[in-house]
Amino acid sequence: MSNPLPPAAPPVRFCRFRQKEVINICTCRTLGCVSDLEIDPLTGCILSLIVPEMGRWGWFPGREFEYVIPWRCIVRTGTDIILVEVSEDDVRKKCIR
């Protein structure tokens, strides 16, 4: 008898997320790499990915704004990228320090 449920995906460590580039499929633009996560303290579930906005030089992260991308907006994760579907204006937030 076969198992009707697909096999569970193996757990992913945070350091693996930090190595992935985030790309918005709506604009085909690179948003940057994950720098942090928002986690629900009650459930331990990831709520959002935090991606610093790129600065004027592209490779240097900006200081004022970041993208707070809700987990539900992730379309697919690959070995080196995370594809998201977001309105960049809606997820661009002032950095909390």
Mean pLDDT by 10 residues, the chain (97 residues): 63 80 95 92 92 68 81 92 94 83
- Contact (Cβ atoms closer than 8 angstroms) between residue 21 and residue 33: yes
Q: Supply the pLDDT for residue 12.
A: 73
| Calpha distance 38→13 (Å, rounded) | 14
Q: Taking the CA atoms of 25, 23, 47 and 52 in sequence, report the sign of the dihedral they define.
A: negative
Prediction pTM value: 0.79
CA nearest to 47, candidates 38, 36, 55: 38
Residue 91 confidence (pLDDT): 94
- CA dist., res. 97 & res. 80, Å (int): 28
